[in-house]
Amino acid sequence: MNAASDASRARRPRFAVRAVLFDLDGTLADTAPDLGGALNRMRERRGLAALPIAQLSPVASSGARGMLAAGLDVHPGMPDYEALREEFLNEYDAALDRDSVLFDGVRASLDALVEHGFAWGVVTNKAERFAPRVLAGLGLRTPTLICGDTTAHAKPHPAPLLEACARLGVRADEAIYVGDDLRDVQAAHAAGMPAVVAGYGYLGAAAEVSTWQADAVIATPMALLELIELAS
């Protein structure tokens, strides 16, 4: 390893934590194919062409709101928004585990965390109506799952992260949160824990990750292991 590589490695943050919390959509899993599928079925019903999933992926972390905006130009506050939102949710409910997959390296990174004694959990804004079934379809069993309607507030409020820490029996400063959206960083910092951005994830449309003030950005799921102090 050359001197430049040594210097780069030395500048990387190292987090001494007991638990790692993850966002779901765009962080652990590529769920855009099923979210986009729900939207495209709505478009086809209206005589519109299906949109490429790659075009919809950047807004997948925003769920129904992001999909309806990208695919039908419908936004909260518009007269027909709530009806279309319910239609979208029903479409998603009917086929939410057909094509969603874990990102490459996620399962190996989770196995490594467990092997080294870390607790882990999922904190998502996806509703309890959907999240457990999505995880089951992905073959993931997490010790702790906090959904968008588990607590009184969803991210970027810190309540879901704090609830996850309470269930895992760790303090907020003993955990880190990994997500792919600005609100994930905001929620983590509000809860008093470091925020790591999944740079391989959705990141939102025209995202400027450098302005999010995250504590670290990882290019692959396995890169997370380089940021935390593993037990020897």
Residues 200, 201, 202, 208: what is their CA dihedral angle, to the nearest 10 degrees?
Answer: -60
Q: Which of 45, 60, 94 is the last residue of a domain?
A: 94
Residues 125 and 22 in one domain: yes
Q: Is the pLDDT of residue 8 over 50?
A: no
Q: Residue 68 domain-assigned? A: yes
* Angle (nearest 5°) at CA 185 between 136 and 6: 100
Kindly report the pTM of this predicted structure: 0.92
Task: Please report, rounded to a whole number, the percentage of residues in the chain having pLDDT higher than 90.
Answer: 88
Question: What average pLDDT does the chain have?
Answer: 92
Q: What is the pLDDT of residues 165-193, one digit of tens each?
A: 999 999 999 999 999 999 999 999 999 99
Q: Based on the fold, state whether residues 15 and 122 are members of the same structural domain.
A: yes
Tokens of 13: 């943050």
Dihedral in degrees, nearest 10, Cα atoms 66, 71, 72, 75: 10
Catalytic, 111? Answer no
Structural domain contains residue 211: yes
Which of the listed residues 40, 67, 94 is the one where a domain comes to its end? 94
Q: Specify whether 172 is located in the same domain as 213.
A: yes
Please tell me the predicted confidence (pLDDT) of residue 206. Answer: 62
Please provide the size of the chain in residues.
232
Determine which one of 23, 30, 34, 215 is catalytic. Answer: 23
To which residue do tokens 């099923």 refer?
A: 34
Provide the number of structural domains found in the chain: 2
129 and 221 within one domain? yes
Structural domain includes residue 45: yes
Residue 39 has pLDDT above 80, yes or no: yes
Asked, for residue 150, whether it belongs to a domain, the answer is: yes
pLDDT exceeds cutoff 50 at 22: yes
Q: What percent of the chain has pLDDT over 70?
A: 93
Last residue of a domain, one of 78, 94, 110: 94
Residue 207 clears pLDDT 90, i.e. is over it:
no
Q: Report whether pLDDT(205) > 90.
A: no
- Asked if residue 231 is part of any domain, the answer here is no
Whether 24 and 42 map to the same domain: the answer is: no
Does 195 lie in the same domain as 210?
A: yes
pLDDT score for 179: 97
Does 9 have pLDDT greater than 50?
A: no
Q: Is the peptide bond before 52 cis (omega within 30 degrees of 0)?
A: no
Instruction: Mark whether 8 and 118 lie in a shared domain.
Output: yes
Domain of residue 205 covers: 3-31+100-226
Q: Give the pLDDT confidence score for residue 1 in this predicted structure.
A: 40
Could you tell me if 77 and 126 lie in one domain?
no
Q: 40 or 11: which carries more pLDDT confidence?
A: 40
With H, G, I as helix, E, B as strand and everything else as coil, classify residue 27: coil
In the prediction, which pLDDT does 12 show? 61
* 25 and 39 both lie in a single domain: no
The CATH number of the domain holding residue 160 is 3.40.50.1000
**CB neighbour list of residue 127: distance below 8 Å, 6 or more residues apart:** 147, 148, 149
Give 204's pLDDT tier (boundaries 50, 70, 90): confident
Chain segment 133-170, per-residue pLDDT in tens: 999 999 999 989 999 999 999 999 999 999 999 999 99
Q: Are residues 85 and 113 in the same domain?
A: no
